[in-house]
């Protein structure tokens, strides 16, 4: 597929509709000029299609979309991964029509649209940007073929299913919280002796004892636990005062039982997927960190295949020569040491493969324009970032919970080094979130290092660039 023959379709996905635009070549005069001339022709050049069109309107349906793609002989469709659910229907239609699908990342598309001076918050402009993204000569190889490395690598089907299971479990985890909170509030006067007690089970097919007893699902609770709660309730002060269990509490408890059974079903599927031979090397690395099942699934859904972060099987490392603009001072042995003065030249090594890896896991940063200044903001998967934070507070900050191996020892030594970093008065320089962020970044760096050692080609690629700081 070359730049002379491609017909590209840009598809901007919304909650229940899409906006499209088709290009057979990159617009002469640039995208801004093209947009200004054609933005008023939305109905013809930027048609919208609806998954559930209103009968009283002339909204186009998914069948009209299929005809639109077929009539225009589209070679490749460009989509933004706007959630698995919103884009799945439209992607399946394109697949059934035999149209090649390429995905462009959120950050890449935002930068591309901004660089072409297209407006923000416009579905039509997004569709145009995506269609042009596949026509831009910068996205092609010297041979004239479309460089698919400019797009997101296609995930294997098993990874899509893995991500879907993770999302389902996270959804169930979220919906439990308000149900549990309300139930415990009610139990504070209906069964205060168990209102704030922990309840869980590790037996397959069984439900947490307290919820099972409240829901009167005796067969799904361990017999001894069920009888123990029943005996305690007979002695409860609430029962003696005539305060009985409200039916709404029993219905809430039954919901929690259903959720727990569904979690068990999903986790059994998740365990089978994560332990697949396909992920053998990854699990060997995860074992060194003592990651749990859900953490492994979250990470795999984001980083597999690891080769996507490499260039020809190697880490892409750039060495930049920069001019220093501000004096840089560091602390060494309680003294301030000037490393660089304004105007000095320094060499900085940038591991682009590692940066992309950390960005995918929510541990990277991007620069965004805010007024007259550039602001550094955290970017990537918020769920993975939360995973690293949970690992830090449950495994690293609590002494004795790190695995007894070289990885665990290296993390423990790094934590002690950070805590021993003090100023001249002996005050610890890093505390709270700053310390946790450093530890989270350390875990991500170690994970990348171990995966590189196991998967990447031993040699590294080095590119020298010139820039100013």
CB 180 within 8 A of CB 256: yes
pLDDT for res 339: 73
pLDDT for res 182: 97
pLDDT tens digits along 290-340: 999 999 999 998 899 898 888 888 888 887 777 777 776 676 766 677 677
pLDDT for res 317: 83
Token look-up 């993390």 returns 411
Taking each helix axis from N to C end, the angle separating 157-190 and 84-96, rounded to the nearest 10 degrees, works out to 150
Range 184-212 average pLDDT: 94
In angstroms, what CA-CA distances link 159 with 273, 299, 311?
Answer: 9, 11, 21
More confident residue, 392 or 373: 392
Range 426-443 average pLDDT: 84
**Distance between CA atoms of residues 14 and 86, nearest Å:** 7
Range 73-96 average pLDDT: 88
Q: How many helices (H) and strands (E) does the chain have?
A: 17, 12
Residue 70 confidence class, pLDDT cut points 50, 70, 90: very high
The pLDDT > 70 percentage for the chain reads: 89
CB 108 within 8 A of CB 81: no
Does residue 464 have a pLDDT over 50? no
**Distance between CA atoms of residues 243 and 249, nearest Å:** 13
CB-based contacts of 462, cutoff 8 Å, min separation 6? 317, 318, 319
pLDDT for res 426: 67
More confident residue, 148 or 452: 452
Does residue 97 have a pLDDT over 80? yes
pLDDT for res 249: 97
pLDDT tens digits along 283-292: 999 999 999 9
Residue 378 confidence class, pLDDT cut points 50, 70, 90: low
Does residue 372 have a pLDDT over 70? no
Beta bridge partners of 332: 335
Question: Which structure tokens are listed for 215?
Answer: 């829901």
**pTM for the structure as a whole:** 0.76
pLDDT for res 218: 95
Closest to 164 in 3D by CA, of 85, 109, 74, 48: 85
Range 176-190 average pLDDT: 96
H or E stretch at 384: helix 382-391
Does residue 466 have a pLDDT over 70? no
pLDDT tens digits along 30-57: 899 999 999 888 788 999 999 999 888 8
Give the strand order in the sheet containing 100-103.
Answer: 48-50, 17-23, 8-13, 76-79, 100-103
How remote is the C-alpha of 339 from its chain's centroid? 37
Rounded mean pLDDT of the chain? 86
**Which alpha helices (H) appear in 144-156, and where do they start and end?**
none
Residue 467 confidence class, pLDDT cut points 50, 70, 90: very low
Token look-up 């397959």 returns 204
Does residue 458 have a pLDDT over 70? no
Closest to 106 in 3D by CA, of 233, 12, 220, 228: 12
How remote is the C-alpha of 440 from its chain's centroid? 15
Question: Which structure tokens are listed for 29?
Answer: 């005069």
Burial classification of residue 176, based on how many CB atoms lie within 10 Å of its CB (0-12 exposed, 13-18 middle, 19 or more buried): middle
Residue 156 confidence class, pLDDT cut points 50, 70, 90: confident
CA angle (172 as vertex; 168, 177 as ends), nearest 5: 155
**Distance between CA atoms of residues 231 and 422, nearest Å:** 56
> Mean pLDDT lowest for which of 113-122, 206-215, 403-412, 437-446?
113-122
Does residue 148 have a pLDDT over 60? yes
Range 403-418 average pLDDT: 92
pLDDT for res 468: 40
pLDDT tens digits along 199-209: 999 888 999 99
């Amino acid at each position: 597929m070359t730049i002379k023959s491609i017909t590209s379709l840009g598809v901007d996905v919304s909650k229940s509709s899409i906006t499209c635009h088709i290009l057979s070549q990159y617009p002469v005069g640039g995208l801004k000029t093209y947009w200004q001339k054609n933005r008023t022709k939305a109905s013809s050049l930027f048609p919208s299609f609806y998954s559930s069109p209103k009968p009283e309107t002339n909204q186009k349906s998914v069948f009209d979309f299929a005809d639109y793609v077929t009539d225009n002989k589209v070679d490749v469709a460009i989509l933004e991964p706007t959630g698995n659910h919103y884009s799945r229907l439209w992607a399946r239609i394109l697949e059934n029509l035999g149209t090649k699908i390429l995905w462009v990342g959120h950050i890449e598309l935002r930068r591309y649209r901004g660089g072409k001076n297209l407006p923000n918050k416009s579905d039509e402009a997004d569709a145009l940007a995506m269609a042009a993204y596949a026509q831009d000569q910068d996205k092609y190889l010297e041979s004239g073929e479309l460089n698919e490395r400019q797009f997101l690598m296609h995930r294997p089907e098993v990874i899509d299913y893995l991500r879907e299971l993770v999302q389902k479990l996270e959804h169930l985890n979220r919906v439990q919280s308000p149900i549990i909170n309300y139930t415990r509030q009610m139990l504070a006067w209906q069964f205060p002796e168990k209102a704030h007690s922990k309840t869980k089970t590790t037996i397959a097919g069984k439900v947490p004892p307290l919820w099972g007893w409240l829901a009167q699902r005796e067969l799904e609770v361990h017999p001894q636990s069920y009888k123990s709660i029943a005996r305690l309730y007979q002695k409860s002060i609430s029962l003696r005062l005539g305060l009985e269990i409200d039916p709404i509490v029993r219905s809430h408890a039954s919901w929690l039982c259903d959720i727990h059974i569904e979690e068990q079903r999903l986790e059994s599927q998740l365990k089978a997927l994560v332990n697949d031979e396909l992920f053998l090397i990854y699990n060997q690395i995860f074992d060194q960190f003592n990651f749990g099942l859900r953490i492994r699934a979250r990470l795999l859904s984001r980083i597999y295949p690891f080769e996507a972060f490499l260039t020809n099987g190697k880490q892409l490392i750039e060495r930049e020569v920069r001019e220093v603009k501000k004096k840089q001072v560091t602390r060494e042995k309680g003294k301030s040491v000037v490393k660089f003065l304004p105007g000095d030249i320094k060499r900085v090594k940038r591991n682009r493969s590692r940066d992309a890896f950390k960005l995918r896991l929510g541990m990277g940063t991007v620069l965004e324009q805010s007024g007259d200044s550039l602001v550094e903001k955290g970017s990537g998967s918020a769920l993975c970032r939360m995973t690293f934070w949970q690992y830090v507070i449950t495994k690293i900050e609590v002494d004795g919970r790190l695995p007894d191996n070289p990885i665990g020892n290296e993390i423990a030594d790094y934590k002690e080094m950070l805590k021993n970093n003090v100023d001249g008065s002996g005050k610890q320089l890093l505390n709270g979130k700053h310390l946790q962020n450093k530890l989270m970044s350390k875990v991500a760096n170690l994970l990348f290092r171990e995966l590189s050692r196991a998967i990447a080609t031993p040699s590294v690629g080095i590119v020298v660039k010139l820039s100013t700081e």
